Amino acid sequence: MRRPGRATSGLLALCCLGVLSAGSVAAYNGQATVQILITGPAAAVPCDAPVAIAATVISLASGNVIATQIVAWSLESEDSGDALSADSSITDEAGSRPSTWT
Asked if 48 contacts 80 with a C-beta cutoff of 8 angstroms, the reply is no
Rounded to 10 degrees, the C-alpha dihedral 23/24/25/26 comes to 40
Asked if residues 78 and 91 have their Cβ atoms less than 8 Å apart, the reply is no
Please give the pLDDT value at position 29: 59
Average model confidence (pLDDT) across the chain: 73
* Domain boundaries defined on the chain: 34-101
The pLDDT value given to residue 14: 37
Residue 13: what are its φ and ψ, rounded to 5°? -65, -40
Q: What is the pLDDT of residues 8-55, one digit of tens each?
A: 333 333 333 344 334 334 444 577 788 888 888 888 888 888 888 888
